Structure 1
């Protein structure tokens, strides 16, 4: 029974990590297509761009 509990914990942890990864990736894609993103230049400048400009 102890091994079964550890397997459940590891499975729940793995699935939770996968769900979080998928949610963060989906949010980032939505943010790029519908929202905004920030571009960083080598000299340290930051530029906020919106919509289709994020994909360029």
Structure 2
């Protein structure tokens, strides 16, 4: 009886673990793809303020 419950547990845990790992991989790949296609940068100011810029705004000089 105990052997059956261990097999059921393995059949349940393995897909859950693989699903979590693949979800993390897809989210990471999407973020890298998004950054490459849209481009982004962070502009820091002397007063400590930070601003996230996208696309051609990264090439413009700071005001």
- Compute the TM-score of the two structures, normalised by the length of structure 2: 0.62
Alignment CA distance shift 1:38-1:8 (3 Å): farther
The higher radius of gyration belongs to 2
Q: Which residue of structure 2 aligns with residue 24 of structure 1?
A: 27
Q: Which residue of structure 2 aligns with residue 46 of structure 1?
A: 51
1:2-56 deviation line (CA, Å, top 9, x unaligned): 11111111101110011101110110111110024463747233222227x5xxx
Q: List runs of 5+ in structure 1 lacking aligned partners.
A: none
Q: CA RMSD in A?
A: 2.4
Give aligned pairs, total.
52
- State whether residues 43 and 53 of structure 2, in contact with CA within 8 Å, keep that contact through their aligned partners in structure 1: no
Structure with higher RCO (Cα < 8 A, 6+ apart) = 1
- Compute the TM-score of the two structures, normalised by the length of structure 1: 0.68
Compare 29-38 and 19-28 and name the one that shifted more.
Answer: 29-38
Q: List runs of 5+ in structure 2 lacking aligned partners.
A: 59-63
